[in-house]
């Protein structure tokens, strides 16, 4: 697992890069605000219900949550089952909103 800042991620999104974003928050959090990631709550990842992203094992996967904690856990789990290029968004959506949604 590596880390990426909100500034780095926003720059890549603004540049039009095709990224594999995974939102590990709960559905209500995703509905309230999201940056376009595939919703896959941490509980599903813990239960190995990851069929939706199985094809991304060898691709860059950027996980995000509210603050960076749950997404860090998600990256660790994904790494342990063979994902090779996971990234955790440090600061999560709290920092994203603080920096870019004023």
Other CB atoms closer than 10 Å to residue 58's CB: what's the count?
10
Known catalytic residue at 63: no
Helix, strand, or coil (residue 37): coil
d(CA 14, CA 35): 12
Q: Cβ distance 70 to 25 under 8 Å?
A: yes
Point out the catalytic residue in the list 65, 74, 75, 93.
65
**DSSP character for 68?**
S
Active site amino acids = 65
């Amino acid at each position: 697992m590596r880390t990426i800042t909100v500034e780095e991620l926003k720059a890549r999104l603004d540049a039009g890069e095709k990224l594999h974003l995974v939102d590990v928050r709960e559905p209500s959090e995703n509905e309230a605000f999201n940056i376009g990631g595939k919703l896959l709550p941490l509980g599903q990842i813990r239960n190995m219900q990851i069929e939706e992203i199985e094809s991304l094992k060898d691709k860059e996967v950027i996980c995000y949550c509210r603050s960076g904690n749950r997404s860090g856990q998600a990256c660790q789990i994904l790494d342990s089952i063979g994902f090779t290029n996971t990234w955790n968004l440090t600061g999560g959506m709290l920092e994203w909103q603080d920096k870019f949604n004023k």
